[in-house]
Structure 1
């Protein structure tokens, strides 16, 4: 049974209001960002207590960035940051830490380098009882498609490294299908969904301000969910929507809309609408 989660970054207001809004709407879990833990001046225990009081699980902690393929002179520093992110995930009770594909111009793309770097992160995660969910990014120079990220995950071949499949990064590139049915379920660690309409602007701008809730755009989500069911994927499905207009609206109203937008895809029989 898939657990449905919502990202804190999709809501305006303070952390307390976000958690309460998500739980009242029906969400069982949330995708945290590191900043959520330090919003209150008394420190992370306030955020952790709020999650506990609401009975809200943590799906994943976002996000390690610009690590794999980074210039050699930056690697030790970025590995230290990654380790600290993993420690935060342990603190928050998150089983996953997300890794966004390196989107910097300085990123190296040779396979051996990427595999070595990803393998290092997988070993660090495994030592902490964590897993890394690796997300292709549409504007990254080297790992910008789910099949390329999957190739690297398979090459590393570690139970601590898997694919994070965010349909946005496929649809914004013009893909008409995300073939989730072709992904082995043990390689798929996290699924994120949203919707969008074609816009004549850079993908990074669309991603950060113009994502839509599932069913509010024009993307082929029904086919995606059908493929996803065929994988046997039983992990979390996260509604991840960055939308500038939504941030200005009451958190409870946005969370309710989000729940209403995703719930029809998960009826009792597991069939889409």
Structure 2
């Protein structure tokens, strides 16, 4: 089996972007998933952050994220589109090729598959000449698009080759779903796989799903779902997925640590997964 390429989200670490990039590269990670907030934190502004990233030599797995996208109208839709356009312009400067987009989470947004598909199609069309792919990720707590089956149906309805899926192991585990729910989705439609674990064996309440996702994720091997995560990694590799596997871990405990200490959890998790899958 070919060893997967592991990446890490800059939002999983605390500190300045410069500090994060130094510990990330020192730990042997060749790519990062960037949080937009990290780009505006440099004393030299966004231009300084762009230069730091280029000097570091790391590749960019993706930029996250445009939230609550699709199904809006009027001023909200216009705002979301303008925000996405600003991200796309920034990504062109960065050389970043994937923008992560998540669906609306408000109950006030009516599930209108035609409208959501049209919005995604428009965004994907805007991104195409810039060489940027749109990676759509369902959320288990979204009232509209909360499973990979529904997200894949929506992408097929949008009918734009520049649209793809971002897999998040947490979204599968929160709904107790095995990788075989992805069987109908071709590897070519998957642009990124995010990995994280958590302590609870099941998450029945939506409120718990949100809280764990934002504050209590763990690195694979430190929680209750390690076997499932390893199964997902092997499933994706066997399926033909050749993109990045990103540690996307948000935990207040890790953010209270120095970056050099916190990233050791990612290093141990990387080695643990490789050992378990025999890569």
Counterpart position of 2:21? 19
Q: Structure 1 residue 160: deviation in Å?
A: 1.0
Question: How is 1:121-160 mapped onto 2 (pairs within 5 angstroms)?
Answer: 121-160=123-162
Question: How is 1:63-74 mapped onto 2 (pairs within 5 angstroms)?
Answer: 63-74=65-76
Q: Measure the CA separation in 2 of the matches of 1:85 and 1:122.
A: 13
Question: Contact between 2:192 and 2:245, CA under 8 Å: does it hold in 1?
Answer: yes
Counterpart position of 2:213? 207
Question: Contact between 2:179 and 2:235, CA under 8 Å: does it hold in 1?
Answer: no
Q: Return the match for 1:36 from 28, 35, 38.
A: 38
Q: Secondary structure at the match of 2:219?
A: coil
Question: How is 1:161-172 mapped onto 2 (pairs within 5 angstroms)?
Answer: 161-172=163-174
Question: How is 1:2-17 mapped onto 2 (pairs within 5 angstroms)?
Answer: 2-17=4-19
Deviations along 1:136-167, one digit per CA (max 9) or x if unpaired, are 01111110111111111122232211001111
Q: Measure the CA separation in 1 of the matches of 2:57 and 2:183.
A: 32
Q: Structure 1 residue 178: deviation in Å?
A: 5.7
Gapped runs of 5+ residues in structure 1? Answer: none
Counterpart position of 2:249? 241
Q: Secondary structure at the match of 1:237?
A: strand
Q: Measure the CA separation in 1 of the matches of 2:241 and 2:267.
A: 20
Q: Secondary structure at the match of 1:65?
A: strand
Q: Structure 1 residue 41: deviation in Å?
A: 2.8
Q: Secondary structure at the match of 1:49?
A: helix
Question: Contact between 1:137 and 1:143, CA under 8 Å: does it hold in 2?
Answer: yes
Q: Secondary structure at the match of 2:135?
A: strand
Counterpart position of 1:110? 112
Counterpart position of 2:122? 120
Counterpart position of 2:265? 257
1:223 aligns with 2:243: no
Question: Contact between 1:153 and 1:187, CA under 8 Å: does it hold in 2?
Answer: no
- In the TM superposition, structure 1's runs of 4+ consecutive aligned residues that sit over 6 Å from their partners are none
Counterpart position of 1:196? 198
Q: Structure 1 residue 249: deviation in Å?
A: 0.7
TM-score where L is the length of structure 2 = 0.91
Q: Structure 1 residue 177: deviation in Å?
A: 4.3
Query: Greater CA deviation, 66-75 or 227-236?
Result: 66-75
Q: Secondary structure at the match of 2:69?
A: coil
Q: Secondary structure at the match of 1:98?
A: strand
Q: Secondary structure at the match of 1:196?
A: coil
Q: Return the match for 1:52 from 51, 54, 69.
A: 54
